[in-house]
Amino acid sequence: MRTPIAAATAALSAVALLAATGAAVAPPTVPPKDERMAWWRDARFGMFIHFGLYSTPAGTWDGKPVGGVGEWLLQNARIDPIAYEKALLPQFNPVKFDAREWARIAKDAGMGYVVITTKHHDGFALWDSAASDYDVMATPFRRDIMRELADAVRAEGMRMCWYHSIMDWHHPDYQPRREWDRRPVDPASFPRYVDYMHAQLRELLTKYGDIGILWFDGEWEGTWNHDWGKKTDDFVRSLQPRIIGNNRVDSGRAGMEGFSADEHARGDYGTPEQTIPPNGMPGKDWETCMTMNDTWGYKASDGNWKSAQVMVRMLCDIASKGGNFLLNVGPKGDGTIPAESVERLRRMGEWMRVNGEAIRGTQASPFPRKFPWGRVTMRRAGDGTSLYLHVFEWPSDGVLAVAGLGNPPAGARVLGAPDRKPAAERVPGGVVVRGLGAAPVDADATVIELRIAGAPEVEPFVVKPGEDGSIACLAGDASVTGSIQYEERFRNLGWWRDLASEASWPLQPAAAGAFDATIEYAASAECGGTGEWRLRIDGRTVAAGTVELPGRTDWGDFATVPLGRIELPAGRCELAMKASRKNGDSFINLRRIDLRPAAAR
Judged by CB under 6 A, the stretch of 66-74, 236-244, 490-498, 570-578 that binds ligand FHN is 66-74
Per rule CB under 6 A, count of chain residues that contact ligand FHN: 8
Please state, in angstroms and rounded to a whole number, the distance separating the CA atoms of residues 223 and 177.
11
Distance of alpha carbon 139 from alpha carbon 369, whole angstroms: 52
Q: Does 574 bind ligand FHN (CB under 6 A)?
A: no
Residue 15-54 contact track with ligand FHN, rule CB under 6 A, x = bound: ----------------------------------------
Smaller CB separation from ligand FHN, 122 or 574? 122
Of the pair 114, 432, the CB lying nearest ligand FHN is at: 114
Site for ligand FHN in 204-243 (CB under 6 A): 217
Position with the least CB separation from ligand FHN: 296
Burial of 393 (0-12, 13-18, 19+ CB in 10 A): exposed
Nearer to ligand FHN, 168 or 273 (CB): 273
Closest CB to ligand FHN among residues 135, 217: 217
- Rounded to a whole number of angstroms, the distance between the first and last alpha carbons of the chain is 80
Applying the rule CB under 6 A, the residues between 268 and 327 that interact with ligand FHN are 273, 289, 296
Q: Is 250 in the site for ligand FHN (CB under 6 A)?
A: no
Stretch that binds ligand FHN, among 8-16, 69-77, 150-158, 463-471 (CB under 6 A): 69-77
Write down the least CB distance from residue 247 to ligand FHN, Å.
Answer: 12
Q: Toward ligand FHN, which CB reaches closer, 327 or 576?
A: 327
**Closest CB 302 distance from ligand FHN, rounded Å:** 14
CA angle 355, 360, 361 (to 5 degrees): 135
Three-class HEC string of 101-162: HHHHHHHHCCCCEEEEEEECCCCCECCCCCCCCCEHHHCCCCCCHHHHHHHHHHHCCCEEEE
Contact residue for ligand FHN among 30, 256, 410, 462 (CB under 6 A): 256
Produce one character per residue of 507-546: b if its CB has 16 or more CB atoms within 10 Å, e if not.
Answer: bebbeeeebbbbbbbbbbeebbbebbbbbbeeeeeebeee
Element (H, E) at 550: strand 540-550
The least distance separating ligand FHN from the CB of residue 91, rounded to whole angstroms, comes to 20
Spatial CB neighbours of 236, under 8 Å, sequence gap ≥ 6: 201, 205, 214, 243, 245, 249
- Return the closest-CA partner of residue 270 out of 242, 298, 250: 250
- Contact segment (CB under 6 A) with ligand FHN among 68-76, 85-93, 124-132, 423-431 equals 68-76
Nearer to ligand FHN, 102 or 169 (CB): 169
State the minimum distance, in angstroms, from the CB of residue 424 to ligand FHN: 41
- For the bound state, the minimum distance from the C-beta of residue 71 to ligand FHN, rounded and expressed in Å, comes to 5
Sorted by sequence, the CB contacts under 8 Å of residue 192 that are 6+ apart come out as 173
What are the distances in angstroms from CA 477 to CA 64, 87, 152, 392, 521? 45, 50, 43, 20, 16
Nearer to ligand FHN, 118 or 362 (CB): 118
Least Å from the CB of residue 218 to ligand FHN: 6
Q: Which residues bind ligand FHN (CB under 6 A)?
A: 69, 71-72, 217, 256, 273, 289, 296
